[in-house]
């Protein structure tokens, strides 16, 4: 006998070609009514692996929600504390829902002049929701993908976020260019439906799945990461965090804890060598401690320079400038300094940065040099999809 996921896949596939949808529903009724949030990911992942394009899968999201939405209602979580990660996501969506209702009232008042001014302000304020979408993309999605391969399907939700961004950008352009009212109304309608769909998808599928996979300790960790992005339409949660880090207890041998990740020495050397810049680090004692070896280094360096006082690396005529920069970095009066020169047909940007730890202690000076002739010539845009 077919298992549940196979039956759900068969139902969706047959639905796209049958004329008797009622009879088809009756044939699969028991399976449909037993659907759970995670099943949506399993169904779509299977269909994509078997030839359904990502674009077509995205177009079919509304259909899936119409098919299964009412049976997923019972999984909606209502009682999460907004001072938790998942609770804050739900609260942001609740705030967005209320905001969309107010936006709808302003839309109805068009074309009154005052209503248009309010509409522009409210549409622009929807940018705040980007904080929420970035937390999904950079915090929640990676967490789910690590928990279960089936959650690779969150890429569809990422695409829905991008669709919302695109229609918001279009509506702003409509209003800015004073497009015809019919165009504005059409795009505003799509805007409302798109953002409302994000709320529904998260309430019925994403948040219930995340709640199932997440313990309280992980929730608090992800909430702490959220503060890097901010909170949409709401105040920051009132919560304190233990600043003690877990350190290297799970660190593989040979790896270095970099706070935002872990790498071994070979990988670090590879990263520094691949960057299209010359990097030199001078420690807090003004001694050269490190330099990178990119393929096309601008300024020659040899390992003999390691441990050398940086003052001795410059002509005597410019030593006083080096000392002035270092003194400014150490005192905190200056955080960076930039110079640019033309040499051997190249246009070279040379930047110096003060390096400090989290407590503000001066650790040294970083020199970064880059040939930027090609960068100066850039115009317009080249996006990832334009490759």
Per-residue pLDDT tens digits for 104-146: 888 887 767 677 788 889 999 999 999 999 999 999 999 999 9
Confidence of residue 377 (pLDDT cuts 50, 70, 90): very high
Confidence of residue 248 (pLDDT cuts 50, 70, 90): very low
Q: What is the pLDDT of residue 109?
A: 77
Residue with more model confidence, 308 or 247: 308
Residue with more model confidence, 181 or 214: 214
Distance CA 76, CA 62 (A): 18
Tokens representing 140 are 């929640």
Residue 49 CA: distances (Å) to CA of 6, 7, 35, 52 = 14, 17, 21, 7
DSSP state of 129: G
Stretch among 241-255, 279-293, 306-320, 350-364 having the lowest mean pLDDT: 241-255
Round the average pLDDT of the chain to a whole number and report it: 90
Strands in 346-356's sheet, in edge-to-edge order, are 288-291, 278-283, 362-371, 346-356, 336-343
Confidence of residue 312 (pLDDT cuts 50, 70, 90): confident
Residue with more model confidence, 79 or 168: 168
Q: What is the pLDDT of residue 117?
A: 82
Is 216's pLDDT higher than 90? yes
Q: What is the pLDDT of residue 247?
A: 47
Is 217's pLDDT higher than 50? yes
326 closest CA partner among 341, 340, 344, 313 = 313
Mean pLDDT of 265-272: 93
Tokens representing 294 are 């990119």
Is 245's pLDDT higher than 60? no
Is 1's pLDDT higher than 50? no
Q: What is the pLDDT of residue 2?
A: 57
Mean pLDDT of 361-384: 92
The rounded percent of the chain whose pLDDT value lies above 90 is: 69
**pTM score, whole prediction:** 0.75
Distance CA 344, CA 348 (A): 10
Mean pLDDT of 23-52: 93
């Amino acid at each position: 006998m077919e298992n549940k996921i196979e039956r759900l896949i068969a139902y969706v596939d047959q639905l796209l070609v049958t004329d008797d949808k009622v009879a088809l529903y009756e044939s699969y009724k028991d399976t449909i009514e037993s659907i759970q949030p995670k099943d949506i990911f399993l169904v779509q992942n299977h269909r994509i692996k078997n030839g359904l394009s990502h674009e077509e899968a995205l177009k079919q999201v509304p259909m899936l929600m119409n098919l299964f939405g009412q049976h997923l209602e019972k999984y909606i979580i209502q009682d999460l504390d907004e001072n938790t990660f998942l609770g804050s996501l739900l609260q942001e969506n609740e705030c967005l829902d209320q905001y969309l209702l107010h936006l709808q009232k302003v839309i109805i008042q068009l074309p009154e002049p005052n209503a248009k001014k309010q509409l522009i302000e409210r549409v622009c304020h929807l940018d705040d929701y980007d904080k929420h979408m970035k937390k999904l993309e950079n915090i929640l999605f990676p967490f789910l993908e690590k928990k279960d391969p089936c959650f690779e399907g969150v890429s569809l939700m990422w695409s829905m976020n991008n669709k919302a961004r695109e229609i918001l950008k279009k509506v702003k352009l409509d209003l800015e260019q004073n497009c015809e009212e019919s165009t504005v109304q059409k795009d505003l309608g799509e805007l409302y439906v798109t953002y409302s769909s994000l709320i529904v998808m998260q309430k019925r599928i994403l948040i219930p799945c995340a709640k199932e996979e997440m313990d309280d300790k992980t929730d608090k960790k992800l909430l702490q990461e959220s503060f890097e992005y901010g909170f949409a339409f709401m105040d920051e949660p009132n919560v304190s965090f233990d600043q003690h880090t877990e350190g290297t207890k799970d660190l593989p041998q040979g790896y270095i804890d970099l706070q935002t990740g872990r790498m071994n020495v070979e990988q670090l050397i590879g990263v520094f060598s691949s960057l299209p810049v010359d990097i030199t680090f001078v420690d807090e004692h003004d001694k050269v401690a490190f330099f990178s070896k990119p393929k096309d280094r601008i300024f020659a360096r040899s390992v003999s320079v390691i441990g050398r006082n940086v003052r001795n690396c410059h002509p005597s005529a410019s030593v006083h400038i080096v000392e002035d920069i270092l003194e400014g970095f150490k005192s905190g009066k200056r955080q960076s300094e930039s110079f640019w020169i033309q040499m051997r047909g190249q246009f070279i940007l040379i930047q110096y940065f003060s390096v400090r730890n989290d407590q503000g202690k001066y650790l040294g000076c970083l020199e970064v040099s880059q040939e930027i002739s090609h960068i100066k010539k850039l115009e317009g845009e080249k996006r990832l999809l334009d490759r």
